[in-house]
Chain A
Amino acid sequence: MVEQTDYGGKSTDLKDIEREVNAAFESTIRKAKQKPSLPAVAPVSVETAEPREQTAKQSLPGKAAAPDWEQGKKQLNMRGITPETMDFGSYTPPPVLRDYLRNIPAKQELESVAKSFADVHKLQSPRRESGGRGSRGGTFTPGSGTTFSGGRGGSFSGGNKYGRILSAPDFAYYSELGANIENPTYREADGYANIFGWRPGAKDINNIVTFSRDNWEKIANDEEERYPTIGRSIYRYMTQEEVDIYNYLLAKNGDTAAQEYLETLEEQLNYRFGTEVAGRVRGIDNDFLRTVGTEVYAVSAGMDTWGGGVRQAFSKEQLPTSPTQYGSAYIREDLRQDGNTAGLMAYDAIEAVSNIAPSILASYLLGPAAGAVVQGISATGNAYSEALDSGYSEEQAKNYAVLIGVSESALQYVLGGISKLGGVSSQQLLTKISGIENGLLRAAAALGIKGLSEVTEEELQLLLEPLYRSIVSGEDYDAPTVEEMVYTAVISFMMTGALESGEIASYARKQPANSVGFDFSQDDSWFGAGDASADEYAADARDKLTDISHRDIIKLQNGFARFPDGDPLNLNAQMVTPIENCFDVAMHGTPTAVAFGSENPNMSPRLLAAMILHNENYSGQSIRLLSCSTGKAIDGDYCFAEELANILGVEVLAPNMSLYISDRGELRVGKYSEGKFVKYMPNQRRRIR
């Protein structure tokens, strides 16, 4: 049964109305093909906006991607209208479509609806990142067919819900009445002071839209400099028609109804604002300045993605897509249409770096695991929002978001190549490259290990995302394309190189001992008292070269010992069972120095590191110090083992109390075995860059 309604002489047959919608869409699409242009600002008439320079760049003749009907149907689908209902051959209108069509009073509005759909289709989705950079909704998936979601279903159609108001007989009267509602001046509204948002003496604003539009410059400045501000500068992006509707509602139905209307416009306004700013960036004539502006925008977009995700993770309501995300989508599309693949990759890499930067900051404050968790929280929020945009129920969206967040955190911590966020596996692998003598090769190996670890993490996340979608929604597994995976790999590698450049460079600087001015070819002769180069090298006050014995070291099964001559510990140390991939170094020790062949401390970590690197049996393994208390950090200071780990760039195990070695080579730390061997990772405090 087809329901009918009366629209002043127009056909009331629902099928006729639907055909009209269809025709309006197709008409708009044809127009778009004839006069392709980026949609960002052109369809919007903003009275108070600065006149936008309609540069050739913004027009982009011949480059606009024409929207297609399938995309239009997807947009309708987001509003609760399924593609099936649009199939005229088997048309069965659901209630939501009936309501929708009832609210369209004239063809002019149909065109408006169609146009807004067509406009937004031309941009790639500003969908936020969910599961890591790999699923940045198009950021890593060039030409993947990701559709612009048009912000949120319903939000863009808000204007149409209120469209009937325009033809109301009392529209002119009430809209004028609302427009004439008196507002205080900006100064009067600001009050005499701003005490945590309390403005003593401030007068109430009666029409927030006209007030904000009248004072948008001051408000915009306020929004940059202080919080909270009065008014919202974004209202300047309302069309006159929208302002009239707001004024009408305010005057006739009151503030609540008017505010509800404003909320329906939020996505649209964010879209207009974001794309206008991005359009200005991409419209800069000077190539260099345009590139700089674009990359600066990428930085803000990445941080905005992170912040939006975190805010969404702690919000029950779905938050609107930010202007920055709309702008970022615009820029990416512009780069794509330019055929500027290198620019697009650079943009994505920079955005990815800035997206992860806040989590790295968290790791500095709270440790790598916390950094990974923070990144996971952001991914959770973005995944939730993205899932809702895709039509998932709240429950499905929550489940999907949790899966994404947890796997993002865990994979980043375990597999990722970003050391500040864990990267446990890559850190283990990095301990194997200390034996490479050439600094450049060592740095290249470090870059390779870190880059491949990050690529592995991102690719895995890319593969898992559709799996999670399949789990929560029952849809078929939609595997990423080869192109997506390759692009993800490239961006991940670029991002890792940028974020880890400092640490990678440090691998080049960690020169083996025989490249710092010593002649190690003469066995340990360089090490004797009075040796000029050794004196020069021993800048550390702990190095007492005249006290260091010139005698041979005692070879262990995998390492060496140098207790004083005649000390039975030399024998007991030889009985110690080695552990795999660990080089044992045994001598008297304290928390800050060791005693090479002596009872008294006489050697710094730096000098011992040189000894170890010089040993012919050392090939970059981890170090186990069989020396009392060398792993004991007092009051948070660096202990000997931690310093040694930082110098050698390998893991160092050391006892945090007195070490006892039995005649059979067994080890115990503390007389009651109450101590332990503590593991120190290179640069574990993240202070060395």
Chain B
Amino acid sequence: MKSFGYFKWMPYEDSTEEFDNYKQFINSIPKQRIIEHIEGLERWLTSLPGRDYFTGEPLQSGLYEDGDFVFPLDFLHYYKNYDIGIPYEYEEYLKKILK
């Protein structure tokens, strides 16, 4: 499995990624389409204490699993509210399934 979106302030194990790196992803799939897709995925909730790094807003911890990809529930929050993209590899996967 491949994971993404585990930013280094998140409470999960192996959260090491840089948030700024995701600002560089420019995706061709419309953002709303991607959000709708992710929101349709089954949520796996966990009890780790999650908060928005910038605002302190409480966030539900957990993960989404989509094909071979795993990413935290928090990622959707950041994707919705901040100007970041999704990794190209995941976008390629979405292009295949969102026809």
Contact = CB atoms under 8 A, between A and B. Distances in A.
Interface in A548-593: 563, 567-569, 572, 587-589
B95 interface: no
A569 B44 contact: no
A657 B12 CA distance: 10
B45 interface: yes
Nearest to B14: A671
Interface in B56-74: 60, 62-63, 70
A672 B1 contact: yes
B15 to A, nearest CB: 10
A628 interface: yes
A599 interface: yes
A628 B48 CA distance: 8
B42 interface: yes
Interface residues of A, number: 26
A396 B44 CA distance: 62
Interface string B30-69: 0000000000001111111100000000001011000000
Contacts of A569: 45-47
A657 B44 contact: no
Contacts of A599: 49
A628 to B, nearest CB: 5
A662 interface: yes
A662 B43 contact: yes
Contacts of A670: 13
Nearest to A563: B47
B16 interface: no
Contacts of A427: none
A466 B43 CA distance: 62
A668 B3 CA distance: 16
Contacts of A658: 12-13, 46-48
B60 A568 contact: yes
Size range of the interface on B? Answer: 10 to 19
A661 B45 contact: yes
Nearest to A661: B45
Nearest to B63: A671
A660 B45 contact: yes
A661 B44 CA distance: 5
A588 B45 contact: no
Contact of A660 (B1, B3, B44): B44
A150 to B, nearest CB: 70
A671 B47 contact: no
Contacts of A660: 44-46, 62-63
Contacts of A568: 43, 45, 60
Nearest to A594: B47
A628 B11 CA distance: 12
A588 B11 CA distance: 13
A659 interface: yes
Contacts of B47: 563, 567, 569, 587-589, 595, 627-628, 658-659
B45 to A, nearest CB: 5
B16 to A, nearest CB: 13
B13 A671 contact: yes
A422 to B, nearest CB: 35
A660 B62 CA distance: 7
A509 interface: no
Interface string A644-688: 000000000000011111111010101110000000000000000
Interface string A600-623: 100000000000000000000000
A569 B12 CA distance: 17
Nearest to B50: A599
A92 to B, nearest CB: 83
Contacts of B44: 660-662, 666, 668
A113 B42 CA distance: 90
A588 B61 CA distance: 12
B43 to A, nearest CB: 5
Contacts of A659: 46-47
B20 to A, nearest CB: 23
Given A657-B13, A658-B13, A671-B70, A664 B46 contact: no
B44 to A, nearest CB: 4
Q: Which 10 pairs between the two chains have the least Cβ-Cβ distance?
A: A660-B44, A588-B47, A660-B46, A662-B44, A658-B46, A569-B45, A599-B49, A628-B47, A572-B45, A672-B1
28 contacts: A567-B47, A568-B43, A568-B45, A568-B60, A569-B46, A572-B45, A587-B47, A595-B47, A627-B47, A657-B13, A658-B12, A658-B13, A658-B47, A658-B48, A659-B47, A660-B45, A661-B44, A662-B45, A663-B42, A663-B43, A663-B45, A666-B44, A670-B13, A671-B3, A671-B14, A671-B70, A672-B1, A672-B3
Given A572-B45, A668-B44, A672-B70, 11 more contacts: A568-B43, A568-B45, A568-B60, A600-B49, A628-B48, A657-B13, A660-B44, A661-B46, A663-B42, A666-B44, A671-B3
Interface of B: 1, 3, 12-14, 42-49, 60, 62-63, 70
